[in-house]
Structure 1
Amino acid sequence: MVVEGEAARVLTELRAQGDPVRAENEKRYLKSDFVHIGVPVPAVRKVAVSAVKALPTRDEVLALAEALWGVTQEGRPVHEARMAAIEVLVKRAALLGPGDLALAERFVRDSASWVYVDGVAEKVVGRLVVRYPDLGTALDAWVSDPYMWMRRTAVLALLAGVRVGEPDLGRIDRFGDALIGEREFFIRKALGWVLRELSKKDPGWVTEWVEARIAVISGVTLREAVRRLPGEDAERLLAAQRR
């Protein structure tokens, strides 16, 4: 009953803050078929965080996330409820264990937009992989998954290790080579983001990796990858691609 009560409270609070104009604009921007209430992300996060304070156990957190993810209106998922479900998992990521990777995967496979995938990829999957390195084998499978959002998840999950100073250079190298010929914009962008974040701490590695692939790397990936490199290196790589 506690979980059901918190899920209902979250929805009530979200609806109380809804803005129809924002809802319509956001729906248009995301090209979404979902129901949108019109609540900014910081407000969704605040409501979700308040909910998990009342649910201290892993089982309760998972149940709340599942309940919010499954909310529908007029037969369609509710955008803010799904965002709140993700925030619940993110806030209590430290409680999650290896077996919970399956739930994260299910959420990604049930998504069709970066707006849901990215938080799950880095802040749930990525953090799990940092804590339980053996889970990296799942990323190895996902990087060649037919579903584009699973491939994006495999790449973005690597950001968590980069941010805490434990970059998985082997997988960054392998995944980069596996995806460097991708036509999907969202994959190209994701790879660029990982390289950009890594370049803040290891610009030499990124420079060498990109330079060796300058003939095949996409412009989208390259522009992100060089954004934080020393100016001379960035300009040299950009000029090399232009040639």
Structure 2
Amino acid sequence: MSKTKERVSPASAHGIPPQGQVAGPVAPPRVSARRRRPGVIALSLALIAAGGAGVAVLVLQVGHRTQVVTVVREVQVGQVLTERDLGKASVALDPAVKAVRADDLDSVVGKRAAVELTPGSLLAPSQVTKDSLVRPGEQVVPIGLKPEQVPATSLVPGQKVRLVHVPAQDETDTGRSSADPPQTLAGRVVKASHAAPGTGVVVVDVATSADDGPMVAAWVSADTLRLVLDAPDGS
């Protein structure tokens, strides 16, 4: 019995239909439909809405800015404010922050600083006052202090001081013994100048009672007055 070899064409061996034969239709791959979860969709929509609201609030806050008065130069307590001491700035102001509006700048020029003002800060209405450091019934006496008599602590307006009478070596104070404490008077700094070039003398305007003013002036003239700083609380 003879064996017949089955011939297989190369095209059939590689899955290619032989000539004259038409390949059958190819079925598309099945794609399983994803189940939509209502909870996830609702959460996504909520996050989108919250993000949009946050952006809207941020835009409103950035867009709503207020023109306010700022401090551009250092101002000591009691010093009169000038236009050169102040500036203007546009800021997003918190309602809890009290600041002088830029439109009211002219109303604070000419007033005195109630506290020490530092550059870069906003000016608050409570930081200025129209009251003078010289009160009714007081006099201002200028006192020249030599370099060795000037305190290392800066003299600022409103600072309380004691005016001490130190008798000269050849001066005899009748009625007082060497054991008695020196005579002192209360005073308050109104203004202090910078040290004079060459001499270093600092002139301090001190307010004292009208009754003590002439005596203080006599001490200054006789060079028998010394200035002592009081404690911050005035005690």
Query: Relative contact order, CA 8 A, sep 6+: which one is greater?
Result: 2
- Larger strand proportion of the pair: 2
Same fold (TM over 0.5): no
- Larger helix proportion of the pair: 1
TM bucket (normalised to shorter chain) is under 0.3
Q: Normalising by structure 1, report the TM-score.
A: 0.22
